[in-house]
Structure 1
Amino acid sequence: MTDGNTGATRRRLAQELAVVAGFDDPRAPLEQYHTPPELAAHIVHVADLQGDVEGRTVLDLGCGTGMLALGAALRGPDRVVGLDVDPAPLSTATENERRVGATADVSWVRGDATRVPLCPAGEVTVLMNPPFGAQSGNEGADRAFLETAAEVASVSYSVHNAGSESFVEAFAADNGGEVTHAFAAEFDLPRQFDHHTEETRTIDAEVFRIEWV
């Protein structure tokens, strides 16, 4: 596949995900932000190129309204499971599934991603945009999500705050994993919580692919 075709395929996936609705009433303690379709498409496209989607179980930890899960659902997985502790976005995720028109086997499960109530069989790929731990009392939230990925996945893709490379690499090494790919990302966050002082803020982030033993 040429770079041009690769880019076109990724852009097409982003266009398909543009219909995915975000949170009706986002909760600040859970750091509920809508994953931009362009970022989701990039992550899913890389995962697809690495053979981490087709024919596998894809688990979206902290799925929110389903952006990453539905992106994977459009790329031929065996099944997709979206897990979130908040029932409200799961209802929206169900509606988004109809909007996207995914034909894959998709399930939405209410549960704590840090105490995952699932034990998927076979090869499992985790896709996640976990809380960065930016809220007071929620520090280290992304570590707990990585701990779950290490337990259930053979490979994971996760979004973290910029500057997290040393932490993610060290965590992976200590838990039987290895970072194989990393790339920078950024996305615009609209003003949606009282503590926000700007109408839109651009967040610098990093995405990591980890292979787990």
Structure 2
Amino acid sequence: MATKAALETQLAVVAGFENPSVSLEQYPTPPELAAHVVHVADLNDDIEGRTVVDLGTGTGMLALGAALRGPARVIGLDVDREALSTARANRVRVGTTAPIHWVQADATRCPLRLTERTTVVMNPPFGAQRGHEHADRAFLATAAELADVSYSIHNAGSQEFVEAFAADNGGEVTHAFEATFDLARQFDFHEENRKELRTEVYRIVWAGD
């Protein structure tokens, strides 16, 4: 198994969004955070030999990180065609040969029906935009339908919500840790060039695992 640091170096070449959407909360997952999430998933035997689905993959950061750790296949799903085009280019930059399928679809109305052991990795919208509160709820609902286990990144202060949602949907939070989300300025309303957001990552085992 490659080290977390080596994985972060490999993911550092992943390009972000050319035209990020405010409404979709398209913020690229930092390579250090993606490497940490994927490394923890690998340590828990949740990647090798499995199907890994990245819901709301954007330009492919988490999907490509998982692809470097020996999955049976990876599916990167996103509603944005342009982002998926960048994800395909990023695959070439990263150099992984693992089977990856890029699917244009709404993660909250996921068309996938999987029977094999499946791990979901995702950085869902935090619901920071007015009218989109709890946008991550729909992503968790999809994970509950698809996955045996999921890893998801949420805004700080989400523990009560995530644990309650998991319990109500046959799941259990088994791991939780805090992480820093380094956010570069990319929209006009951002007042700082860089900002560090406090986030939380949750591993949830869903019913049947």
| Superposition TM-score, scaled by structure 2 size | 0.97
Q: Does structure 1 residue 41 correspond to structure 2 residue 35?
A: yes
1:187-208 Cα shifts (integer Å, max 9, x gaps): 2211111221111111000000
**Residues in 1 aligned to 2:111 and 2:42: alpha-carbon distance in whole angstroms:** 26
**Residues in 1 aligned to 2:116 and 2:29: alpha-carbon distance in whole angstroms:** 27
**Residues in 2 aligned to 1:120 and 1:69: alpha-carbon distance in whole angstroms:** 17
1:164-197 Cα shifts (integer Å, max 9, x gaps): 0011001000000000000000122111112211
Runs of 4 or more consecutive aligned structure 1 residues displaced over 4 Å after TM superposition:
none
Deviation at 1:120, TM superposition (A): 1.9
The aligned residue for residue 66 of structure 2 is 72
Q: Does structure 1 residue 24 correspond to structure 2 residue 14?
A: no
The aligned residue for residue 46 of structure 2 is 52
The aligned residue for residue 112 of structure 2 is 118
**Residues in 2 aligned to 1:212 and 1:29: alpha-carbon distance in whole angstroms:** 29
Deviation at 1:139, TM superposition (A): 1.1
The aligned residue for residue 202 of structure 1 is 196
The aligned residue for residue 86 of structure 1 is 80
Deviation at 1:121, TM superposition (A): 2.4
The aligned residue for residue 151 of structure 2 is 157
The aligned residue for residue 12 of structure 1 is 6
**Residues in 2 aligned to 1:44 and 1:173: alpha-carbon distance in whole angstroms:** 24
| Alignment gaps of 5+ in structure 2 | none
Which structure has more helix as a fraction of its residues? 1
**Residues in 2 aligned to 1:202 and 1:38: alpha-carbon distance in whole angstroms:** 13
The aligned residue for residue 135 of structure 2 is 141
1:27-71 Cα shifts (integer Å, max 9, x gaps): 000000010000000000000010000000000000000000000
CA RMSD in angstroms, aligned pairs only: 1.0
In structure 2, the residue corresponding to 1:30 is in which secondary structure? coil
**Residues in 2 aligned to 1:61 and 1:204: alpha-carbon distance in whole angstroms:** 21
Query: How much identity, in percent, do the aligned residues show?
Result: 68
Structure 1 counterpart of 2:137, one-letter code: R
1:79-109 Cα shifts (integer Å, max 9, x gaps): 0000000101100000000111111100100
In structure 1, the residue corresponding to 2:23 is in which secondary structure? helix
| Alignment gaps of 5+ in structure 1 | 1-5
**Residues in 2 aligned to 1:68 and 1:55: alpha-carbon distance in whole angstroms:** 17
Query: After the TM superposition, which of the residue ranges 194-203 and 102-111 deviates more from structure 2?
Result: 194-203
Match of 1:175 among 145, 169, 173: 169
Structure 2 counterpart of 1:185, one-letter code: A
